Structure 1
Amino acid sequence: MTTASPPPGTADNAKTMPAAGRAPVATPRVGYVGAVLALLLIAAGVVALRDTAVALGWLGGPPWIDTAIDWIDGLRFQTWMIPAGIAAVLAGLGMLLSALTPRRTRVIAVAARSAVWIDPADLARVTSHAASTIPGVLDARSTATRRKIVVTADVIDPNDPSIPTAVDAAVRDVTEILAAAPKITVRTRTVEALR
């Protein structure tokens, strides 16, 4: 004897749904700092290999590391050291802040039972397409952020007030899939204004 599965949306079915995943986030700023430090470390390794080749007699010339150590050892206080020290401290603080800064969320949550997101650039493409399907609109371009969408439509008749309203309605229909409604701004330009 088989038992019927519970209908969708019941408490038993909700228990089987996976937990929502974390939203994709931007690359951490400290990653760029790490890449620069990695390049500097590679350069230091190249210098060490060069000095090893000089010590083994494979290359001629003085060892660069010994020359740098002798130069640092012979230094006396000079006025340029104060701004250089301040710059080094500020660079260190900048690296520390970049490591502690939380990563930005770049995507927009879609109203779904599982974790689904849309990139603002993709949302702009969808809203541009929706606006361009309205009669009287020749072309439409959109920009989108996580909280705002701006649609610019090129229209034939500047005196037809129904076109901006229809564009706004079409964009709102598309953005109904989002978990939080963004602010929508519709701008129209006439064909004459483009000439």
Structure 2
Amino acid sequence: MSTPVITPAARAAAKPPLAAPAATGVAVVLALALIALGIVAARDALIAIGAISGSAWIAAALNFLHGLTAQTWMLPAGLATAVLGISVVFVAVKPRRRTHLALRVPATWIRRRDIVQLARSAARAITGVSTVTAAGSARTITLAVTPLAGYDTTALKDTVRTAVDDALTELARPPRVRVRVKEQGPS
């Protein structure tokens, strides 16, 4: 049995990894409320068939609502409900943020925080580097390098920048790299 050959044109482009939708929290709360309503309805159904004793909650709630007339608290409550409803709609259609960055290899991604760690590791591997702290984002990475005693800090700065740039070449959009070499105090 032979394996089917998939041409590059037949492959679908992979979509970038995205964060969970912003509406996830709202959906969980609404689902829990719906489950609670289902439990109340099941309780009232068991009361109606005589399986358990008690008074029906849904009928009591509907009777309470049926007797209501317009009151002053209803206008602010209605406005608050409308604002809440509009905000839920906006949350539901809000685009999800990208969590990974593309590499040059198609359909290959790297997490944003791993880019900083990759830059830190590349700088740490340079001879003459004692410690490295790295911070930044997908656009700019700042490295603070502490050299070993006796190393030329000017040459070390250029070497670290080159090594980090080489480590980040596989990114589709490599970030700018800033290297700060901490000056050594007198021994």
Report if TM-score (shorter chain) is over 0.5: yes
Matched, 1:97 2:85: no
Matched, 1:115 2:110: no
Equivalent residue for 1:148, pick from 115, 126, 140: 140
Gaps of 5+ in 2: 1-6
Which amino acid in structure 2 is aligned with residue 63 of structure 1? A
Partner residue in 1 for 2:161:
168
Q: How many angstroms apart in 2 are the aligned matches of 1:45 and 1:63?
A: 13
Which amino acid in structure 1 is aligned with residue 23 of structure 2? V
Residue pair 1:153, 1:188 contacting (<8 A) in 2 also: yes
**Structure 1 runs of 4+ with >6 Å offset:** none
Q: What is the CA-CA distance between 1:89 and the residue it aligns to?
A: 1.0
Stretch deviating more after TM superposition (131-140 or 119-128):
131-140
Q: How many angstroms apart in 2 are the aligned matches of 1:155 and 1:83?
A: 64
Q: How many angstroms apart in 1 are the aligned matches of 2:45 and 2:155?
A: 78
Which amino acid in structure 1 is aligned with residue 158 of structure 2? T
The normalised TM-score by structure 1 is 0.74
* Compared CA separation, residues 143 and 78, structure 1 to 2 (3 A): farther
Stretch deviating more after TM superposition (66-75 or 171-180):
66-75
Q: How many angstroms apart in 1 are the aligned matches of 2:168 and 2:44?
A: 62
Q: What is the CA-CA distance between 1:136 and the residue it aligns to?
A: 4.0
Residue-pair matches, total: 178
Structure 2 SS opposite 1:185: strand
Equivalent residue for 2:116, pick from 111, 119, 124: 124
Which amino acid in structure 2 is aligned with residue 169 of structure 1? T
Higher helix share: 1
Q: How many angstroms apart in 1 are the aligned matches of 2:43 and 2:139?
A: 54
Equivalent residue for 2:172, pick from 176, 179, 183: 179
Q: What is the CA-CA distance between 1:174 and the residue it aligns to?
A: 1.1
Q: How many angstroms apart in 1 are the aligned matches of 2:72 and 2:8?
A: 69
Residue pair 2:120, 2:133 contacting (<8 A) in 1 also: yes
Matched, 1:137 2:123: no
Structure 2 SS opposite 1:92: helix
